[in-house]
């Protein structure tokens, strides 16, 4: 039996002892050091998402991609990407080894620097990766940074992040980022379109979020989203839909302090929970996650029976 390939940890996942010398965790991208295999992984991912997203991704994503120096045959050079971004929205992409501490992340965003993982996944990890890599960060996120509304919203999120951390409510604010910037949908051309990077960079979730009958698709409501837990290990059970990207700018004008208090008193909601007050685009069947939970329970019962027999 072949052993499973060993997983390499990056950035914060590798521990604080692996932190870069720079206190902001930035490193040299080392573009010249990418191997042919690494460029090949980018090419595979780029080509299949580029074929999949037309008609599924929002116009802002498609237009951003067209304007940026990104192509299928090589991992983008952050310097060239930043030159274009800076001229359009004042943002730049900075290389980091992987996940970074919260305060570092917020400081970068507040100063219009997007920290992007410098590494790329291995060929056997095309469909699932525990840590965000250069494909997720650059292909998924950067095209949307060409849009002024999204660019301003992410800066505002960075500015609000440290305040949320001080108040002990970072988990509530993180849910807003998760259900918008990472896994958000919006209304466009009479249907739903993808703008979240976690979806746009995933072949399977690009299909699941729009076409599978299982998940809920719910009109975005700030307090509702702040109360809703999310999944980090599988498809989302619920997706939240904004009217347009300008709605995100409206959020940036709100004083979140009293909202945090109300949300804390109301309590958390499970990822697939539906409320009577929800405005539903689609009430999901829940079949996908129900089957996953049943399989997990069956596996646990089998392990328990095996242990009892030994």
Catalytic residues: 136, 141, 182, 201
Task: State the Cα–Cα distance between residues 248 and 155, nearest whole angstrom.
Answer: 11
Handedness of CA 252, 253, 255, 261 (dihedral sign): negative
Q: Where are the alpha helices (DSSP H) in 70-190?
A: 78-89, 102-110, 134, 148-167, 170-177
**Helix, strand, or coil here: 88?**
helix
182 is in an annotated binding site: yes
6 is in an annotated binding site: no
136 is in an annotated binding site: yes
**Helix, strand, or coil here: 64?**
helix
What is the H or E stretch that residue 188 is in? Answer: strand 185-188
Determine what percent of the chain falls in helix, strand and coil, rounding each to the nearest 5: 55, 10, 35
Q: 2 φ, ψ to 5°?
A: -75, 135
Which residues contact residue 287 at a Cβ distance below 8 angstroms, ignoring those fewer than 6 apart? 213, 214
Annotated binding residues for Fe cation, written as ranges, equal 136, 141, 182
Point out the annotated binding site: 136, 141, 182
């Amino acid at each position: 039996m072949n052993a499973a390939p060993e997983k390499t940890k990056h950035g914060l996942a590798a521990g604080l002892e692996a932190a870069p010398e720079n206190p902001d965790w930035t490193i040299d991208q080392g573009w010249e050091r990418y191997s042919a295999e690494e460029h090949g992984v980018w090419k595979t991912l780029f080509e299949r998402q580029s074929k999949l997203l037309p008609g599924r991704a929002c116009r802002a994503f498609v237009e951003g991609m067209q304007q940026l120096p990104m192509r299928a045959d090589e991992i983008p050079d952050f310097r060239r990407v930043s030159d274009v971004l800076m001229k359009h929205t004042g943002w730049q992409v900075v290389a980091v080894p992987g996940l970074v501490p919260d305060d570092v992340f917020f400081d970068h965003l507040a100063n219009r620097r997007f920290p992007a993982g410098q590494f790329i996944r291995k060929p056997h990890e095309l469909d699932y990766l525990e840590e965000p890599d250069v494909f997720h960060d650059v292909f998924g996120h950067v095209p949307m940074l060409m849009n002024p509304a999204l660019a301003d919203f992410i800066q505002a999120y960075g500015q609000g992040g440290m305040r949320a951390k001080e108040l002990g409510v970072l988990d509530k604010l993180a849910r807003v980022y998760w259900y918008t910037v990472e896994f958000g949908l919006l209304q466009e051309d009479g249907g739903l379109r993808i703008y979240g990077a976690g979806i746009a960079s995933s072949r399977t979730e690009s299909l699941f979020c729009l076409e599978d009958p299982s998940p809920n698709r719910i009109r975005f409501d700030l307090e509702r989203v702040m109360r809703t837990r999310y999944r980090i290990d599988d498809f989302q059970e619920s997706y939240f839909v904004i009217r347009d990207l300008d709605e995100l700018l409206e959020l940036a004008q709100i004083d979140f302090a009293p909202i945090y208090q109300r949300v804390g008193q109301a309590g958390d909601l499970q990822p697939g929970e539906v409320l009577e007050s929800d405005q539903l685009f689609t009430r999901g069947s829940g079949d996908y996650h129900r089957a996953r939970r049943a399989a997990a329970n069956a596996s646990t019962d089998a392990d328990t029976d095996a242990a009892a027999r030994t």
